[in-house]
Amino acid sequence: MKKILKVLIILFLAFFIFSVVSYLICENYLEAKLEEAIAQGYPGTEKVDVQLEVSSPWQALRGYIDYCQLRVTNWEQKNWQIDWFEGEFKGVKINIRHLIMKRILVIENIERGIMSLTLSETNLQRGLKNYYQDVDLNIVGDKLVLTLKVTIFGRELNAQVGGNLAVHKGGLVFAPQDLKVAGLNLPNYLEEQMLKKLQIPIPLIELPFSFSLTTVNILQGKIIITGKV
């Protein structure tokens, strides 16, 4: 009887150790694969750090992840470079075949998540240039100041527009507040008309999953955007 009990204890300990090791190996393996896929899918990205929690190795190898923390430094995208990205996601389902065989990240579902993105003034201006080549951007205090050309009474003039960013229809829009035109003192009605025309939409940053924006804050030399899934 004692021998049987001893064997059972040994088997239990062996199973426990095997389970713990399997968890660690599986989590570490998937973390490395996800980091590799993001770095490969977005060339120029500086650093990717993934931390996972899975309920079991078998679920993880089917692409089910309970919790994922993603941190990326200088995330290089087609039209934008995100200086800093941090997100926490729960109930993630990835295409495990694409990840392991092709090193491609395909996210099939996320139950919920939150994220924060930081763009420096330099990268914000660089990204905006991909859409509006004739617009220069600077951050002054807690405002954006755009330098561009406007046409008034048939004349093309240099202008500066100060304003904020706002979440609008799932994206961002530049919300102008004041306008200065070189050599002209505009009447109020004309300034109001011009400000309406200068509400410039800013295309969303492309991430490998769908998301909606919640807030945008302008700070000295950068903007911080928060979002959710």
Low-confidence winner among 18-22, 210-214, 217-221 (lowest mean pLDDT): 18-22
pLDDT of 37 higher than 60: yes
Nearest CA among 144, 81, 116 for reference residue 214:
116
Nearest CA among 9, 19, 16, 48 for reference residue 32:
48
| Size of the chain, expressed as the number of residues it contains | 229
pLDDT tens digits, residue range 91-138?
A: 999 998 998 888 888 999 999 999 999 999 998 888 888 777 888 888
pTM above the 0.95 mark?
A: no
Would you list the DSSP string of 206-219? --SS--EEEEEEEE
Residue 217 vs residue 207, higher pLDDT: 217
Which pLDDT value is given to residue 110? 94
Confidence of residue 22 (pLDDT cuts 50, 70, 90): very low
Which pLDDT value is given to residue 1? 59
Confidence of residue 151 (pLDDT cuts 50, 70, 90): confident
Following CA atoms 11, 17, 19, 25 in sequence, which dihedral angle do they give, to the nearest 10 degrees?
-150
How far apart CA 223 and CA 121 sit, in angstroms, is 7
Residue 80: partners with Cβ closer than 8 Å, 6 or more residues away: 119, 123, 127, 205, 206
Q: Which two tokens stand for residue 128?
A: 């905006």
Strands 155-168 and 81-94: unpaired
Residues 50-70 have a mean pLDDT of 89
pLDDT of 87 higher than 70: yes
Which pLDDT value is given to residue 52? 92
Q: How many whole angstroms from its chain centre is CA 68? A: 14
CB 60, CB 30: distance < 8 Å: yes
